[in-house]
Amino acid sequence: MSTVQYCSSCGTKLETRAIDGHDRIACPACPFVHWGSYSIGVGALLKKDGKVLLVRRAQDPGKGYWTNPGGYIEQHEPIQKTIEREVLEEAGVESRAVGILALRDQPRDIHNVYVAFEMEYVSGEPAPDNYEVDAAGFFSLEEMAAMNVAPFTKWLVNIALNGQNGGLEKDESNDLPLKNAGLFKVPTGSGS
């Protein structure tokens, strides 16, 4: 299944061997273990005046579908910065990630986790980048009914408009000894 054949650390041909009860692809010459292939996607749920920001995909996968803005995380970029950047790049709108409303897990050859952020509007009028997307705007549920909205986006929009609490909120006041860690939690009241 895997296309990984050579060690990315030392170049030795990899072997399959049991590690902690699982067959893993590992290097016989150094400590490298190929734990698997994973990707992490992020999406933005940005509400303004009861409407939600959508973009129309100009490229496959999903060309022609309206979706919420989103993308994939970068190695050393905090996840909330990624989604703020993607919204600005795709739709020309400045926003701030304030929490997490939903998560999708897709175990497959490249195991994907998608994190849907609640965004706070800061400034800007929607304008497509005309590369990844060719249209952008804030739309009501009534307007979306006549649009080609991707099924997963419909699921997310319903959560954004009808969610019963704020989801996981960004915790910037913690004193954990973690460098560059983003922390999100359910509300626990003041002083916690």
Residues lying near Zn ion in the complex (CB under 5 A) are found at 7, 9-10, 12, 27, 29-30, 32
Closest distance to Zn ion from the beta carbon of 13 (Å)? 9
What are the helix and strand counts (H, E) for the chain?
3, 12
- In the block, residue with structure tokens 């895997």: 2
Return the number of the residue (32 or 184) whose C-beta is nearest Zn ion: 32
Return the number of the residue (33 or 113) whose C-beta is nearest Zn ion: 33
Distance CA 87, CA 167 (A): 20
Closest distance to Zn ion from the beta carbon of 30 (Å)? 3
Closest distance to Zn ion from the beta carbon of 11 (Å)? 7
Return the number of the residue (27 or 87) whose C-beta is nearest Zn ion: 27
User: Which residues face 102 on adjacent strands?
Assistant: 116
Closest distance to Zn ion from the beta carbon of 6 (Å)? 8
What DSSP string runs through 113-169?
EEEEEEEEEEE------SSSEEEEEEE-HHHHTTS-B-HHHHHHHHHHHH-SS--EE
Return the number of the residue (21 or 31) whose C-beta is nearest Zn ion: 31
User: 114 is written with which tokens?
Assistant: 């998608």
